[in-house]
Amino acid sequence: MATHDKTINHDRSRSIILSIVKHNIFIPCAFLTMLLLVNIFINPGFLKISMGADSNGHPVLIGNLINILSNATELVILAIGMTLVTASSKGQDISVGATLAISGGVVMRVLCGNETQPDSLHAPIIVALILGCLAGMACGAFNGILVSRFKIQPMIATLILFTAGRSIASMAMGGLKPKAVSSFGYYGNFIPGFPIPTPILITIGIVIVTMLTLKLTNLGLYTRAVGVNAKASSLNGLNPTMIKFLTFVVLGFCVGIAGFVQSSRVQTVNPYTIVPGIEMDVILAVALGGNSLGGGKFNMTGSIIGAYTIQTLTSMLMTLNVNTNAVPVFKAAIIVVLVVIQSSVVKAFFNKKMGELKSRKNSGKGNDTYVVVE
Amino acid sequence: MQDEILKMRGINKSFPGVRALQNVDFTLFEGEIHALMGENGAGKSTLIKVLTGVYAKEGGEIRLRGLDKPVTIKSPQEAQKLGISTVYQEITLCPNLTVAENMFIGRAEEVIVNWKKRIDKTNAILASLGISAKATQQLSSCSIAVQQMVAIARAVDMECKVLILDEPTSSLDDQEVAKLFSLMRDLKNRGVGIIFVTHFLEQVYEVCDKITVLRNGELIGEYLIKDLPRVALVSKMLGKELGDLSALQNETACDISRQKDIVVEVKGLSGDSGIRPFDFKTCKGEVTGFAGLLGSGRSECVRAIFGADHVTGGEIKIKGKPVHITSPLKAMKNGIGYLSEDRKSDGIIGDLSVRENMILALQVMRGFFKPFSKAQAYAFADEYIKLLGIKTASADTPISSLSGGNQQKVILARWLLTHPDYLILDEPTRGIDIGTKVDIQKLVLKLADEGMSITFISSEIEEMLRTCSRLIVMRDLNIVGELKGEDMTQDRIMHTIAGGATNHGDS
Amino acid sequence: MKKLVSMVLALMLVFSLVACDAKDKAKDDGKITVGVVQTNANESDWRTANTKSMNEAFAAAGFETKMVFGEGDHAKQIAQAQQLIQEEVDYLVILGLQSAGWEDVAKAAKEAGIPLIMADRELELSEDLYTAMVCSDFEAEGVKAVDWLKAQNMDTVDIVVLGGDTGSSAQLGRSKAIEEGAATNGWNIVFNQNMKGWDETLAKQAVTDLIASGKEFNVIYAENDNMARGACDAMDAAGITYGKDGDVKVIAFDANKWALEKVLAGEFNLDIECNPLHGPRLVSLIQSLEKGEKVEKNVYVEEEMFDAETITQAIVDARSY
């Protein structure tokens, strides 16, 4: 082993590069950078952020990057919860779109009551936010009980709310489609006078809370332990049922926040069309972040970067004005590349190539203590 | 002189930072049972994986009888085609298929399958090898031993010339081992060359003709069984003279006297695992053992004490205070630690690092909102890596990439970190190399000396005799006897297990 | 083998029970039963008005209504239609999510002697397979918008097209009209994408992105009111003026009451009606058919358009939905 250490000391610089390349968020980061570069290439003004003013004269930041950061909010928040659920339960929650409709619907109902165009809010916004989150957490708890207590596969358990959720949302709204006053729109757009879109601030807040939670509690360790080996975890005093349940409730909370932001964007919720197909985007974000959908270890930073990658892609295809019918094909083609590059087969291939490169360089230097014979 | 059927020369293989094999030679003759011995990490499995095409060799050559050129084996399928078959410790067949289906799966010889013919053929093979299974039986309904034999029969039917048995006896009881051995001898007479990898020295001397010893990836030598006494074998595997083991035996005697403060007292405990109500107590600094055959209830007893299985009745007192243990966490909070029997499925958390595996139990006891800082966790990990001599690249290495013995040491460290008053070790030495075995036995005695009560369970009676000061003997989910002091001999244990005991303890 | 036979028998039993059940329920009180295959229960304000109109008109005329919702699922709608035919309704009204794929349903209805009436969106059926229709001519609506735009005599025309659900006849017709109109008049379409679900949010995101990437445009052609509202939100946020006195002209479709209020306020320049009040038309159609009168097969619903220059408070007040 001593000889090996010496080899590393010999050229530390390369080993730093190697360790960066091998770091588990390198690939997700590289993708995002690549996509951004493509965007800049197509549209040189892509990175430009300018200060404009809205129709009331309040200053606002305008730019593609700002849009991506702002529009990715729901995806990022959901990806955080989905990462935990994936790690603990070895499956995904496909009902997040439908439950987001429910929590958004609850928010609208609380704010608008039974009126379609009320002149004022019926309840303080904080009440709507709390009730929206509680609705999301209740849905999460429902899924969580099915998965953890009744041991139903996550995909099947969450299929129930996936199917029924949007109708439940419609019922929660009393069959109405109200539009709240524009002051409710501060949370999905701008707070007058402050030029950074509020969703970006909310994302930053949630990300900080997540990172602090992972640092200050054992949520991460417990989730991973249960995901990797539930049986062994229970012999170490953990309660796998409880932890799986907990991760679903956490996802439910994320759904609640995302539903609040989403309903604030246009101050109205159409339960049947809100966030179409977001569940797949969220799962994809988790996968792009380098997480195994088979559970176990997880990489939260990766998931967050994955979410931004998908939003960049969506936004890119939108601004490129690709024919609508071709958009899914483009998206699929790019995603195939991203997923394949991250597959273990390709990774192993690159590791091997890298190992060969390393050993060739070493033997070239006459380092006779570590020669791999080929 | 018989023919050489396999000749490996100058095999090299390295992994990042480790040279797993250096210039290893290995020769196998027709009709020979050849033991491949070495501690964990000596290179046995690497050599076998090179031979079966799982790893590509980086140097050297492999020659097979009947081929005039050296061969390069790229995959296990190719190895099978060349007549090299492997039966692993873990059954690699499909338990949900029938025996006949398992015999023929993955061997697409014909397009249209005549199942009747296959079933007949399977039955014929099973009969000729004396395996008590039916072709139409579902594999999972056979015992592990029979499953293993079916795997061997499959290999034989594929006209293998080289049969590799990788730790086949780890999960078998004595009768099953005997059956397996007779099958091996039968195959030997048919001219099959068998490579036998095992940790059990007795079995090597019972069945093998030759021994090749590896250590640290290097070839130590090839010996005829009659030329190599056991002590010499062990010392070659360890690379040192064998004073350790005998020294150990002397230490045990002193433990019996301590009968003062009772740490754990169990009365009429029963669990839903089927264990009959039992009584048990242990004192400070005492090493107790549960002896019995596989399935006799020895694990079920300790699992009930730890709350790992649902407890249906009885009471537990810790240091004289009644406690209600319903879950492992409660047991842990009452100062009980439990190293589980099946390291792979119940012990290690595979993808997590050595550090995380080590601190897990202590962390859980400490609580959800009080995680250890990274520095603290590293300090713990480094301390125990040093203390127990765990061989790992770093504290961040995933535990699954460690050898079995080192994994076990990590799990042991996990429980030592919680500083339990009563530590239960269920088969802590199964499937690990002899060096680590000795380390663990020594550690047990040292901990007991420091005042910890320990229950030590092992399938190897000698090991229990060496470490325990009192043995509880079990049969059919009942405690059938208790032995201590002079009574603790291999003969007495055998008799008690078999039911001829006079000593019906205090249960 | 035994298992298979018993399974088939069990399935047959279940089916026959369902069939009996359905037949038993069918008319015994002489009331006319109308089966309606509606798209979505709560798709938009337009749809809500549409559903309400049918329910109220049928109830007033003494019909029994069996309304089912496809909820965005084309295949589900077809299954629902087949089910209604099984239940032997007297009239089958279909408001298809997609225009294609209805031949089998139409044939089954014909065999069962149930008159099939297409409503809202035209289906791709040959003339012998349906009895009548109460449809909007979406392309004609689009052409109205194109004619209006032409009359504005603008120097340059840079259009943003916000399409509806891909493949629905409303989207196909309205998009076709503007694409052809742009080609013949030399207008420039800077953006043409379909927004899933006819929703504010996606339209808003699209226009926000367009503004950020610096694309110039002076016409928003939004294929429903909601998307127009989303586009306006986006322009508000970027300080771009629109409507009667603004830089960007906003064209919307459907003409909900709240949208007409926006037209009156000068926020939308033009809103083209797509009348959702199919109920009374369907009632009179069914009543004529009951009397054995011959009805015109291909009649489109008459649509109005509302210009910000000419709209009055009275028009808005007269709007019931």
Are residues A228 and B340, on separate chains, in Cβ contact within 8 Å?
no
Residues of B in contact with A222 (CB under 8 A): 364, 368
Judge whether C299 lies within some domain.
no
Interchain contact A355–B (C-beta under 8 A): yes
Dihedral, B178, B182, B185, B186 alpha carbons, nearest 10: -160
* Whether C192 contacts C175, CB under 8 Å: yes
The total number of residues written for chain A in this structure: 374
Size of interface A-C (CB pairs under 8 A): 114
Nearest to A321 among C166, C191, C200 (CB): C191
Residue A217 has a pLDDT of: 93
Taking CA atoms, B215 is separated from A41, B44, B58, C241, C271, in Å, by: 58, 9, 19, 82, 86
Judge whether B112 lies within some domain.
yes
Q: With bands split at pLDDT 50, 70 and 90, how would you rate the model's confidence at B335?
A: very high
B45 in the same domain as B22: yes
Please give the ipTM for the structure prediction.
Answer: 0.81
Distance CA A236, CA A251 (A): 25
B29-43, B282-296, C240-254: range with highest mean pLDDT: C240-254
Write down which residue in B242, B275, B296 finishes a domain. Answer: B242
Taking CA atoms, B49 is separated from A367, B12, B79, B161, B405, in Å, by: 28, 12, 10, 17, 20
B47 in the same domain as B66: yes
**Nearest CA to CA, how far is B150 from chain A (Å)?**
29
Residue B357 has a pLDDT of: 94
Q: Write out the DSSP string of C250-278.
A: EEEEE--HHHHHHHHTTSSSEEEE----H
Size of interface A-B (CB pairs under 8 A): 86
Residues of C in contact with A45 (CB under 8 A): 213-214
Widest distance between CA atoms in chain C: 79
Is the pLDDT reported for residue A178 higher than 90?
no
C313 in the same domain as C167: yes
C83 in the same domain as C195: no
Interchain contact B360–A (C-beta under 8 A): yes
Residues of A in contact with B347 (CB under 8 A): 232, 235
Distance CA B18, CA B24 (A): 15
Determine the number of helices (DSSP H) and then strands (DSSP E) in chain C. 11, 11
pLDDT in tens, B165-201: 988 877 777 778 888 898 899 889 988 999 998 877 7
Answer left, alpha or beta for residue B245, where phi above 0 means left and psi between -120 and 50 means alpha: alpha
Q: What one-letter code names the amino acid at C24? A: D
Residues of A in contact with B308 (CB under 8 A): 234-235
- Determine how many CB atoms are found less than 10 A away from the CB of residue A84: 30
Is the pLDDT reported for residue A131 higher than 60?
yes
Are residues A225 and B371, on separate chains, in Cβ contact within 8 Å?
no
B90 in the same domain as B76: yes
B300 in the same domain as B264: yes
Is the pLDDT reported for residue B122 higher than 60?
yes
The pTM assigned to this predicted structure is 0.78
C149 in the same domain as C202: yes
- Burial-class residue B137 by CB neighbours within 10 Å (0-12, 13-18, 19+): middle
pLDDT in tens, B62-97: 988 888 888 888 888 888 888 888 887 666 778 888
Distance CA C27, CA C63 (A): 11
Phi, psi of A118, deg, nearest 5: -65, 150
Residue B384 has a pLDDT of: 93
Token pair, residue A273, equals: 């069309």
Residue B109 has a pLDDT of: 64
Q: What is the mean pLDDT of residues B409-413?
A: 93
Nearest to A235 among B58, B308, B363 (CB): B308
Nearest to A177 among C45, C192, C237 (CB): C45
B contact test, residue of A18, A233, A235, A238 with most B CBs within 10 A: A235
Enumerate residues 173 to 202 of chain A having a beta carbon within 8 A of any beta carbon in chain B. none
B266 in the same domain as B130: no
Token pair, residue C157, equals: 């025309």
A75-79, B177-181, C13-17: range with highest mean pLDDT: A75-79
Write down which residue in B242, B259, B287 finishes a domain. Answer: B242
Between C8 and A169, where is the model more confident? A169
Judge whether B413 lies within some domain.
yes
Judge whether C114 lies within some domain.
yes
C111 in the same domain as C29: yes
C164 in the same domain as C270: yes
Interchain contact C83–A (C-beta under 8 A): no
C79 in the same domain as C170: no
Q: What is the mean pLDDT of residues A15-37?
A: 79
- Which secondary-structure segment (H or E) carries A202? helix A198-216
Dihedral, B32, B38, B40, B41 alpha carbons, nearest 10: -100
Would you give the DSSP letter of residue A93?
-
CATH of the domain at B100: 3.40.50.300
Is the pLDDT reported for residue A17 higher than 80?
no
List the one residue out of C47, C110, C43 whose CA is nearest residue C81. Answer: C110
Is the pLDDT reported for residue C33 higher than 80?
yes
Q: CA-nearest residue of chain A to C71? A: A272
pLDDT in tens, A261-291: 999 999 999 888 888 889 999 999 998 888 8
Token pair, residue A117, equals: 């165009």
Q: CA-nearest residue of chain A to B369? A: A217
B499 in the same domain as B409: no
B190 in the same domain as B78: yes
Nearest to C163 among A170, A179, A324 (CB): A324
Dihedral, B291, B295, B298, B303 alpha carbons, nearest 10: 160
Write down which residue in B190, B214, B242 finishes a domain. Answer: B242
Is the pLDDT reported for residue A366 higher than 50?
no
* Whether B338 contacts B306, CB under 8 Å: yes
Q: With bands split at pLDDT 50, 70 and 90, how would you rate the model's confidence at A247?
A: very high
* Whether A305 contacts A32, CB under 8 Å: yes
Distance CA A367, CA A10 (A): 10
CATH topology of domain A70-326: ABC transporter involved in vitamin B12 uptake, BtuC (1.10.3470)
C123 in the same domain as C166: no
Residues of A in contact with C236 (CB under 8 A): 54-55
B468 in the same domain as B350: no
State the chains in contact with C (3 or more Cβ–Cβ pairs under 8 Å). Answer: A
Residues of A in contact with C158 (CB under 8 A): none
Task: Write the CB contacts of B43 (distance below 8 Å, at least 6 apart in sequence).
Answer: B20, B21, B24, B214, B216, B217, B218
- Report yes or no on chains A and C touching (3+ CB pairs under 8 A): yes
Are residues A67 and C212, on separate chains, in Cβ contact within 8 Å?
yes
* Long-range contacts of residues C98-107, Cβ cutoff 8 Å, at least 24 apart: C98/C74, C98/C167, C98/C168, C98/C169, C99/C123, C99/C124, C99/C167, C99/C168, C99/C169, C99/C172, C100/C124, C101/C74, C102/C78, C103/C129, C104/C78, C105/C78, C105/C81, C106/C130
Residue C27 has a pLDDT of: 46
Determine what percent of chain B is predicted with pLDDT higher than 90.
24
Are residues C239 and A53, on separate chains, in Cβ contact within 8 Å?
yes
How high is the mean pLDDT of chain C? 87
Q: Write out the DSSP string of A105-123.
A: HHHHHHHHTT-SS-SS-SS
Judge whether B441 lies within some domain.
no
Is the pLDDT reported for residue B250 higher than 50?
no
Interchain contact C193–A (C-beta under 8 A): yes
Distance CA B457, CA B474 (A): 11
Q: Domain range spanning residue B213? A: 4-242
A contact test, residue of B72, B338, B360 with most A CBs within 10 A: B360
Chain centroid to Cα A199, Å, comes to 14
Token pair, residue A288, equals: 């792009």
Structurally, chain B folds into a number of domains equal to: 3
pLDDT in tens, A193-205: 899 999 999 999 9
Residue B504 has a pLDDT of: 44
Are residues A224 and B352, on separate chains, in Cβ contact within 8 Å?
yes
Structurally, chain C folds into a number of domains equal to: 2
Judge whether C301 lies within some domain.
no
Judge whether C297 lies within some domain.
no
Q: What one-letter code names the amino acid at C48? A: T
Nearest to A266 among C45, C215, C233 (CB): C233
C175 in the same domain as C313: yes
Q: With bands split at pLDDT 50, 70 and 90, how would you rate the model's confidence at B17?
A: low
Is the pLDDT reported for residue B435 higher than 70?
yes
State the chains in contact with B (3 or more Cβ–Cβ pairs under 8 Å). Answer: A
For residue B205, the SS3 value is: helix
Q: Domain range spanning residue C117? A: 2-136+276-290
pLDDT in tens, A132-141: 999 999 999 9
List, in sequence order, every beta strand (DSSP E) within B246-301.
262-271, 278-283, 287-291
Residues of A in contact with C197 (CB under 8 A): 270, 272-274, 276
C187 in the same domain as C107: no
CATH of the domain at C36: 3.40.50.2300
pLDDT in tens, C61-118: 999 999 998 887 888 899 999 999 998 999 999 998 888 889 999 999 999 999 999 9
Judge whether B221 lies within some domain.
yes
Residues of C in contact with A262 (CB under 8 A): 201
Distance CA B135, CA B133 (A): 7
* Partners of residue C193 on adjacent β-strands: C162
pLDDT in tens, B23-32: 999 999 998 9
C264 in the same domain as C155: yes
